[in-house]
A and B are shown apart, each in its own frame.
Chain A
Amino acid sequence: MNNTQTVTADEILRSAQELRAEVGVDFHEKLVEAVYTDAARLADRAVTRPDQKARFDLDATIDRIVTDRRWGFLLMILLFTLVLWITIEGANVPSRMIANLLLDTIHPWLKSLAAAISMPWWLDGLLIDGMYLATAWVVSVMLPPMAIFFPLFTLLEDFGYLPRVSFNLDALFRRAGAHGKQALSMMMGFGCNAAGVVATRIIDSPRERLIAIITNNFALCNGRWPTQIMIATVFIGGLVPAHLAGLISAASVVGVALLGVGFTFLVSWFLSRTMLRGEVSTFSLELPPYRPPRFWQTIYTSLIDRTIYVLWRAIVFAMPAGAAIWLVANITIGGTSIAEYIINFVNPFGVLLGLNGVILLAYIVAIPANEIVIPTILMLTVLVTGVDTGAGAGVMFELESGADMLSLFTAGGWTLLTAVNLMLFSLVHNPCSTTIFTIYKETGSAKWTTVAALLPVVMGFGLTFFLAQIWRLLAAL
């Protein structure tokens, strides 16, 4: 050891460079070949296939059915409809129960407690009417559907069906410059966009993953369904005879959701040809064998991994939002609340978009969670119009009856155009702050986060603006 002459690091690097030129440009390929040659030999020695062909191949049979030209799509639509239906139907009851508990029982109790210890009105309002109420709202609207949707989805995933969905739908997504797996993150987005953004991790091609992240917002998430359903019931259902009202309003909500899917493809197509052209694109999709899902374990892990995670983030963002909402509604300068100042300021712009100042302010303060948009709009409308609905002014609430809502909105100057544009804007606007934060964590890039946040809101402005102008022109004819 002592007699060997020492080499320096630089000498080693130099000879490495020379050797690299000698080995040639296909170094990587040669190396992988060498490793695989050994791997194949070792595997061959260890694996025996005693009865190779005799066995009935269940996987291949399932695969043939689920990727069949007819049955494949039918099965897919049926399964996804079933999942959505179970989610919406199944969430109703627990949602109401939680709302009863948090909003109708605990909230008054907290109020009386605050009164009993004679808490100053502003602290009581800020903490209980602001932060508590907003959080309670988010939890009651968000938790039940997520607790149902995510486990169902995870079960399908665990079974091995979802990769087949990507496989079936890839042709569609390919034409939009996207990856078949985007079908999955999009479906997940119907539950929650933040979860959908996390789900894009399965897409291992950088360009397609960014596309999936940026367009996930166009999947109408769980927090926006109630807005759509309410506005559709109150305004669009009211246009047709009563026996058709349910059908038409449901159809219009589904229409909005499908429009979202359409935007997903359109924007994917646009992004892949412009902004994201330079990102690397690869495609490979492994179809793993089917595995019998482990029911309870799956439900448990999906609750832990997805539901609680998303819920926690939403709560973290909802609390400050609740505080902000309460503050703008309750702090007055010269007898007028801050909210009214802002509403008056943005109202002309809102009207230009076929919306109004109340809606715009609601979307500004409700960035943290779409769930509180409707309560905020109702509260602000009361604040502006002065109509008495029973709830205290400056406090978020919801109305049970559609007629009450219609009369409140009409008092606020709403028209059918306002309703339609609100539905559109609810579909096409910036992602909620939870999602924006998730996008930042997933991409690690301020640039793509900004694009993902601004692109839909600019689109939403454009869409509502043009619709409003054309609508008014036609209405005047």
Chain B
Amino acid sequence: MKVLSIAFNTFRENLRDKLLYNLLIFALLMIGSSLILMRLTLGEFHRLILDIGLGSINFFGVLIAIFVGIGLVSKEIEKKTIYTIISKPVARFQFLLGKYVGLSLTLLINTAIMACGLLAVLYMQDVPIHAVLFKALIMIVVEFMVITAVALLFSTFSSATFSAIFTLALYVIGHLTPDLKAFGEKMGGLGKTILEGMYYVLPNLDRFNLKGHVTHQLDVPTGDLLVIGAYGLAYTAFLLTLASVIFQRRDFR
């Protein structure tokens, strides 16, 4: 109940934030622009629309997750609004969870709107729509959930600017973890141990990327999807627990 009230309030806060609409409009424009780019390409335009469409959804969603996510807690502390919440019979982890669920809900609805834009473009261009497209969209949402949790974790102990830098860095590294492992194997010795350690500790965000499958119309078995989804949720739970532990010990000065 309390978590839901905080989540709903966060959702409402997001809805009344202009940043969100700007990003959403940009995303829809990007998806629409594939119609123009398509005229410049010879053949394979189906792939181009899907590539640009899913890329835009992912990119703008990540921007929202990071730039709204880092403010979730730090803004509350800066603006002192947190004083009135924590002094009520609300546990600190309930507050964090509420903020998290609120932004996740925003992202889910955003993704749905952007997906509708993409589907409209695909429909207009008579591009066949396969089930794997929806699977890819679900995985994009799971990736957003992980990134939001990363942003939330950083924002429990550092300023908004640092949180943004850390989260962006982790996002980029998260997409390169297979390279980390490959690189480590070439290096050997201590370097290998460190890079392999990073490979296992950092989120393997590339697992959530099914764009290649969509453009090549390769289906992903449901079993694989469940494993990737479970990995995302487990990682999110781990990040949120860590964030709660840090947040519980904080003084609000």
Are chains A and B native binding partners rather than an unrelated pairing? no
Q: Please give the residue numbers on chain A whose beta carbons come within 8 Å of chain B beta carbons, in ascending order.
A: none
